[in-house]
Amino acid sequence: MKTMTKIISARFDIEGNHKLGGYKSNGGYQSLDKLFSMQPDEVIDEVKKSGLRGRGGAGFPTGMKWSFVPKNIDKPKYLCVNADEGEPGTFKDRMILDFDPHALIEGIMICCYAVGIETAYVYIRGEYDHQIARFSAAVGAAYDAGVIGKGAMKGRNLDIVVHKGAGAYICGEETGLIESLEGKKGQPRPKPPFPAVEGVFGCPTVVNNVETIAALPWIMNNGADAYAAIGTEKSTGTMLFSISGMVERPGVYEGTFGVNLWDFIEESTGGIKDGKKLKAVIPGGSSSPILTAEEARNTALDYESIAAAGSMVGSGAIMVLDEDTCIVKALEVITRFYAHESCGQCPPCREGTHWLHQIAKRIRAGKGRPEDIDLISSICPDMMGRTVCVLADAAAMPTASYIEKFRHEFEAFIDTASPPVRHLQPGGVNPEVGRL
Amino acid sequence: MESTAPTSFSYDADNEAKFQDLLTKYPTKQAVVLPALWLAQDQFGYLTPDLMDYVAKRLERPPVQVYSVVEFYTMFHTRPVGEHHIQVCQTLTCTMRGCEDLQDLIHDEIGIGPGEMTKDGKFSFETVECLGSCGTAPMMRMDNRYFEGLSREKLKRILQACKEGRNPADEDHD
């Protein structure tokens, strides 16, 4: 089975592609003639027909998201490109910013033309200094060449502004991003109103992930039907998968939807490191429920199949756990993450993430109480569906799955003096002396 | 923190030009708060109440709004950081691939733990959550760049370069 069609990553390895001239000689900016020959609505229809879904995590159909933006409205409209890549396990948008920044610019042009937008903000996480510099240079070159700027879009203006984040996972949530872009704390807003109607600066706003936007030039060049022909009926096209953890060759691999999950991981990365056995796969970032080795071997990699297996494709961040990885430690680590990143505005999240972390931490330290496992199980449902955004769900869902699928490991930490797997990896800190 | 006293801080010429340019890129002055804080922090090293008041004044915002923003984001510092500020990622993949070992090594090499700074101000060290570099775990951020695929040996070389006043980036190889 061919698992590596290249749409997004096709130019990653080409020297000099990050520069305007290089990108152009690699087929870049060729979609614009076709774009400007079409009516904006036709472009939206084309993107709808392609079946493209948001690659940031939610998987919402892109064309449909655009069509929610009111047409005849006496306000500016905005595009916010979400480059606040923060879901643990995800490192693919930085590849686009690094190696194919002009594909993102070309995609921005397509979106802005279709929706009638003259200003796009690209919100890049603050730690990505190198990518911010790379992408800013590409934007500068595009201005200089008149690709964007005054009158560049068939007489209409297009400005692209690079906005540097300052370190907050929650700003990857679309309304958190909007609040942050407005100069505030990145605390998500209740929806409705949805950003398409009332987003940044009180105006209609499209918020799309980097990879989603970067897929648009290919769709325009090759047509929606060609894109929809790749993958499965409902999960069309390809996606960049960030594969990390205990595999031989971690990295970003482009995969076609519908392939077997484990086959794809194995073919791309060479399988588990050092000949160890597979224990589990986290398929869509740390917020997604964990899959056992058996589930990972028997699941196809597409939105529907992964959902049927009880998890989600999310941001395509596949984390592979080998037999030596301690699930209790893994829970301690991810709950620490959510406790740290909760924005604090909703009590079930603010309190719940910390409770989960405290309990996981004490179990791992050998101080767990027999009732702790059920206590975790009772906290999780009370965190879900009760908050402004889904950060609480993102903490509770994987937590519940770790307990459900690996309960024996938690029990072993509580019941016996010598748990089966004490450390995550060789060299892990001894819990008796460790600082964490 | 309610100080609105006149401040001695002001942007240097380069940052003033950048600040003026920023004002043209957003429809509200409030939206310039984060970029303006970045300019101030880049110029001074960290954000004092005076600096925050300065940013608030330049953007015609209540100072408390600026304080709350600074408080919310982890990359804004309200205390001095070392000449080399080490941020070791400690989220899932980095933990799987040995980041705790690196934390121990840093402690052994420069004598400080997370949240601490060496007495000479040469190094400060903190653990941080996922930096989006899981494919090259374990990793750290220092001097505004990533150091990825760290082994004990590589990290030792990098720290040694810092101690000797050499460019640590030159040691960023296997």
The Cβ of residue A146 has, within 10 Å, a number of other Cβ atoms equal to: 10
Task: Give me the CATH number covering residue B44.
Answer: 1.10.10
Residue B151 lies in a domain: yes
- At B174 the pLDDT is 87
Regions in chain B scoring below 70 on pLDDT: 1-7
Tell me which chain B residues have a C-beta less than 8 angstroms from the C-beta of A85: 132
Mark whether B99 and B67 lie in a shared domain. no
Of B72, B74, B93, the CB nearest to A244: B93
* Nearest chain A CA: its distance from B20 CA (Å): 14
Question: Contact, A175 vs A389, CB < 8 A?
Answer: yes
In Å, how far are A121, A161, B101, B116, B125 from B106, measured between CA atoms? 38, 38, 9, 11, 9
Q: Is the pLDDT of residue A433 over 60?
A: no
Q: Are residues B94 and B150 in the same domain?
A: yes
Q: pTM of whole model > 0.90?
A: yes
Q: Are A147 and A29 in contact (CB under 8 A)?
A: yes
Is position B52 within any domain?
yes
pLDDT tens readout for residues A385-399: 999 999 999 999 999
DSSP B171: G
Same domain, B67 and B105: no
Q: Which domains does chain A have, with CATH numbers?
A: 20-228 (3.40.50.11540), 238-322 (3.10.20.600), 327-415 (1.20.1440.230)
Does the distance separating the beta carbons of B96 and A246 come in below 8 Å?
yes
Q: What's the maximum distance between 2 C-alpha atoms anywhere in chain A?
A: 73
User: What is the CATH number for B149?
Assistant: 3.40.30.10
Quote the mean pLDDT of chain A.
94
For the segment A11-39, the average pLDDT, to the nearest whole number, is 97
Average pLDDT value for residue range A290-301: 98
At residue A280, the pLDDT reads: 97
Task: Report the distance separating Cα A6 and Cα A8, nearest Å.
Answer: 6
Task: Name which residue leads in pLDDT, A427 or A145.
Answer: A145
Q: What is the mean pLDDT of residues A169-190?
A: 97
Q: Is the pLDDT of residue A33 over 90?
A: yes
Residue with tokens 């100069």: A183
* Domain match, B93 and B44 both: no
Last residue within a domain, chosen from B42, B72, B102: B72
B91 and B67 within one domain: no
In a domain, B171, yes or no: no
Reported confidence tier of residue A414, pLDDT bands at 50, 70, 90 = confident
- Number of structural domains, chain B? 2
Residue B17 lies in a domain: yes
CB-based contact (8 Å) between B92 and chain A?
Answer: yes
Instruction: Calculate what percentage of chain A has a pLDDT beyond 70.
Output: 94
Cβ-count burial A382-394 (b if 16+ within 10 Å, e if not) = ebbeebbbbbbbb
Q: Return the beta strands (E) in A246-356 as ranges.
A: 251-256, 278-282, 291-292, 317-322
B43 lies in the same domain as B17: yes
H or E element that contains A157: strand A156-164
Do B104 and B155 sit in the same domain of this protein?
yes
Which ranges of A116-253 would DSSP assign to H, the alpha helix? 129-144, 174-181, 210-214, 216-222, 224-228
Boundary of a domain, candidates B30, B52, B72: B72
Tell me if B6 is assigned to some domain. Answer: no
Is pLDDT above 50 for A194? yes
Q: What pLDDT, on the 0 to 100 scale, is given for residue A98?
A: 97
The pLDDT confidence band at residue A416, using thresholds 50, 70 and 90, is low
* A281-294: average pLDDT: 98
- Cα gap A125→A99, rounded to integer Å: 17
Task: Report which of B150, B132, B120 is spatially closest to residue B171, judged by C-alpha positions.
Answer: B150
Please indicate whether, in this complex, the C-beta atoms of A317 and B145 are within 8 angstroms of each other: no
- Determine whether the interchain pair A169/B31 forms a contact, defined as Cβ–Cβ distance below 8 Å: no
Residue A423 has pLDDT above 50, yes or no: no
Contact B53, B3 (CB under 8 A): yes
Decide if B78 is inside a domain. no
**Rounded mean pLDDT of A26-43?**
97
pLDDT for the residue numbered A431: 37
Instruction: Taking the CA atoms of A250, A254, A258 and A259 in sequence, report the sign of the dihedral they define.
Output: negative
> A302 vs chain B: nearest CA distance in angstroms?
22
Task: Render the burial of B73-109: b for 16+ CB within 10 Å, e for the rest.
Answer: bbbbbeeebbbbbbbbbbbbbbbbbbbbbbbbbbeeb
Would you say residue B130 lies in a domain?
yes
Q: Is B44 on the interface with A (CB under 8 A)?
A: no
Q: What six digits make up the tokens of B123? A: 């190094």
- Tokens representing B92? 């899932």
What is d(CA B108, CA A80) in angstroms, rounded to the nearest whole number?
44
Taking CB atoms and an 8 Å limit, are A181 and B31 in contact across chains? yes
In chain B, what residues touch A209 (CB-CB under 8 Å)?
A: none
Give the model confidence (pLDDT) of A100-114 as tens digits.
999 999 999 999 999
- What is the per-residue pLDDT for A353? 98
Cα angle A378, A380, A381; round to 5:
80
Question: Measured between alpha carbons, how far is A54 from A288 in angstroms, rounded to an integer?
Answer: 16
Instruction: Say if residue A143's pLDDT is above 70.
Output: yes
Q: Closest Cα of chain B to A274: distance in Å? A: 13
Q: What is the pLDDT of residue A419?
A: 53
For residue A367, the one-letter residue type is K
Contacts of A366 (CB under 8 A, 6+ apart): A413, A419, A431
Q: Please check the confidence at residue A27 and state whether its pLDDT lies above 70.
A: yes
Q: Does B33 touch chain A (CB under 8 A)?
A: yes
Q: Is the pLDDT of residue A259 over 50?
A: yes
Cα dihedral sign for B43, B49, B52, B53?
Answer: negative
Segments forming the whole domain that contains residue B57: 13-72
pLDDT band at A421; cut points 50, 70, 90: low
At A244-253, the pLDDT tens digits run 999 999 999 9
Alpha-carbon span A150 to A45, nearest angstrom: 27
Q: In which residue are the tokens 């995800």 written?
A: A90
Average pLDDT in the A171-200 region? 97
Q: Is the peptide bond before A193 cis (omega within 30 degrees of 0)?
A: yes
* B158 phi-psi bin (left φ>0, alpha ψ -120 to 50, beta other): alpha
Facing B133 at nearest CB: one of A91, A245, A246? A91
- Judged by CB atoms closer than 8 Å, whether chains meet at B34 and A250 is answered as no
Residue B116 lies in a domain: yes
**Contact across the interface for A201 and B104, Cβ inside 8 Å:** no
DSSP per residue, A60-91: -BHHHHHHTS-SS-SS--EEEEEE---STT--
Judge if B113 and B145 occupy the same domain.
Answer: yes
Percent of chain A with pLDDT over 90: 92
The 10s digit of each residue's pLDDT in A327-355 is 999 999 999 999 999 999 999 999 999 99
Order of strands across the sheet that contains A78-83: A149-153, A156-164, A119-124, A78-83, A205-209
Residue A434 pLDDT > 70 = no
The reply to whether B158 and B88 lie within a common domain is yes
Instruction: Name the amino acid, one letter, at A434.
Output: G
Q: Which residues contact A155 (CB under 8 A, 6 or more apart)?
A: none
Least CB-CB distance to A183: which of B32, B93, B132? B32
